[in-house]
Chains A and B, each alone.
Chain A
Amino acid sequence: MLVKTTHFGEIDIKDEDIIEFDEGIVGFEDIHRYGIIKNQDSDSPFSWIQAIEKPELAFAIVDPFAIKKDYDFVLNDEYVKALEIENPSQVNVFAIVVVPEDLKKMSMNLKAPVIVNKENRKAAQVILDTDEYTVRHYIMDELQKQEV
């Protein structure tokens, strides 16, 4: 499917990369369909989700486990049901990234990850019950911790 975007020009997004947020993303509740744009470098933990119907709306996302290896949470039943998850292997987890001017202060939201059921491509930004994570984990700091 050809999608017009502000950031990436006109791009072809495969049907299998289109995900549907029934409830939208917090603050963007009216936008339901996004396409995943993978990084050309397949080793990169970063990718993008682009709103299908809103050319200017895109979010950078990251594989949180690549940045914080011990990231761990329990998904509430309500989400398991809403996304029709039967098996953990069906699930992809992403964290939304804020990219400020100073890239060293790039942060990811581990309190409200994006969960995608790879099989039916239903997605949701879920709010975790735990206090262990916040909406702002600095990516460079987390990577440094990893090296220690």
Chain B
Amino acid sequence: MLVLSRKKDQSLMIGNDIELTIIEIQGDQVKLGLKAPKNISIYRKELYLEIQEENKKAAAADVVEFDSIFKK
């Protein structure tokens, strides 16, 4: 992993079109600003892992007659 030190209001570029700026540092929390083309998805890693986890659980399912429980 590349590790770079940056101060508040400093930025770094990832490639030509992604800009990451340190907006605010408060204790152990850092506020980041991101400028990126619209076709690039940005989301918290926890969310990505959460979705991955749910998908893995979904894929492990056996085929069930789950409709029967909805029939009134």
Contacts and interface: CB of A to CB of B under 8 A. Distances in A.
Given A26-B48, A78-B40, A127-B47, A103 B66 contact: yes
- Give the interface size class of chain B: 20 to 34
B58 A97 contact: yes
Interface in A51-110: 57-60, 76-78, 81-82, 96-100, 103-104, 106-107, 109
A27 B50 contact: no
- What does DSSP make chain B's interface, helix, strand, loop or mixed? helix
Interface string A34-48: 000001010010101
B52 A27 contact: yes
Given A26-B48, A96-B58, A58 B39 contact: no
Interface of B: 38-41, 43, 47-48, 50-59, 61-64, 66-67, 69-70
Q: 7 closest pairs, A vs B, by CB?
A: A27-B52, A99-B61, A7-B63, A27-B55, A135-B54, A26-B51, A98-B57
